[in-house]
Chain A
Amino acid sequence: RKEVEQDPGPFNVPEGATVAFNCTYSNSASQSFFWYRQDCRKEPKLLMSVYSSGNEDGRFTAQLNRASQYISLLIRDSKLSDSATYLCVVAQGADGATNKLIFGTGTLLAVQP
């Protein structure tokens, strides 16, 4: 089983649509969770951290379900500029001795005019 698993997409949506991405992770001891965004041939950029209680940042909402080992990202009112690959990222850190990031393969979003 992959450490972090995502649907690769692509998700093709019209401007203004709501789109949701899902991710599962295999290590139940994982401590921290993030969504990064990566534009083509660019570096990953932190979009938001994901907290157990769920959190929102403008049009973006992230949810975490530890019992199901499942993370989600919801984008409302999508813009053309949201077109990118969305990376689900998990930090191990179970024993406090590591904070390496484990990346999913990413979900490609294409917002159409």
Chain B
Amino acid sequence: EPEVTQTPSHQVTQMGQEVILRCVPISNHLYFYWYRQILGQKVEFLVSFYNNEISEKSEIFDDQFSVERPDGSNFTLKIRSTKLEDSAMYFCASSEVFGAQQPQHFGDGTRLSIL
């Protein structure tokens, strides 16, 4: 079964440093998402992306965050200057078409630890 893959599985970074999380969505999917889950809390939506632009973003997704699809297969999330509170599990997801009925398939996540 095709799956969403994420790298690295664990990233440890000093506060203030930039970090890039990478995702390879399922190949025929067109809609891409990032979610995060702080330890012990619920999964939260960050951003959705389609046709090389952001479709929607949450309040969490401030100017420190950016996304891009640099090469037609990877989908990246960049945090420009990390804070302690950015420590969380970051999940990438993709869906084949647009629509609230379309299930989103999640990657196995990147655990980001900010020191």
Query: What chain A residues lie within 8 Å of B101 (beta carbons)?
Result: 31-32, 49, 91, 93
Q: Is A103 an interface residue (CB 8 A)?
A: yes
> Is B100 a contact of A99 with CB atoms below 8 Å?
yes
Q: Is A54 an interface residue (CB 8 A)?
A: no
Interface segment out of the listed B11-19, B38-46, B69-77, B79-87: B38-46
Q: How far is the CA of A87 from the CA of B48 in the complex (A)?
A: 20
Query: What chain A residues lie within 8 Å of B104 (beta carbons)?
Result: 46, 99, 101
Quick one: closest B residue to A6, CB to CB?
Answer: B42
> Is B43 a contact of A87 with CB atoms below 8 Å?
yes
> Is B102 a contact of A99 with CB atoms below 8 Å?
yes
Q: How far is the CA of A40 from the CA of B84 in the complex (A)?
A: 22
> Is A34 a contact of B102 with CB atoms below 8 Å?
no
- The count of residues in chain A whose C-beta lies closer than 8 Å to any C-beta of chain B is 26
A87-113 interface mask toward B, CB cutoff 8 Å, 1 = contact, 0 = none? 100011100011111111110000000
Chain A nearest CB, measured from B45 CB (Å): 4
Chain A nearest CB, measured from B25 CB (Å): 14
Query: What chain B residues lie within 8 Å of A97 (beta carbons)?
Result: 55-56
Query: What chain A residues lie within 8 Å of B102 (beta carbons)?
Result: 99
Query: What chain B residues lie within 8 Å of A59 (beta carbons)?
Result: none
> Is A99 a contact of B99 with CB atoms below 8 Å?
yes
Q: How far is the CA of A105 from the CA of B43 in the complex (A)?
A: 8
> Is B99 a contact of A93 with CB atoms below 8 Å?
yes
Q: Which of B35, B41, B105, B106 has the most CB of A within 10 A?
A: B106
Q: How far is the CA of A101 from the CA of B106 in the complex (A)?
A: 12
> Is A43 a contact of B100 with CB atoms below 8 Å?
no
Interfacial residues, chain A to chain B (CB-CB below 8 A): 30-32, 34, 38, 41-46, 49, 87, 91-93, 97-106
Having A43-B91, A103-B43, one finds 13 other A-B pairs with CB under 8 Å, namely A32-B101, A43-B107, A43-B108, A43-B109, A46-B104, A91-B100, A91-B101, A99-B48, A99-B98, A99-B102, A101-B33, A101-B43, A106-B42
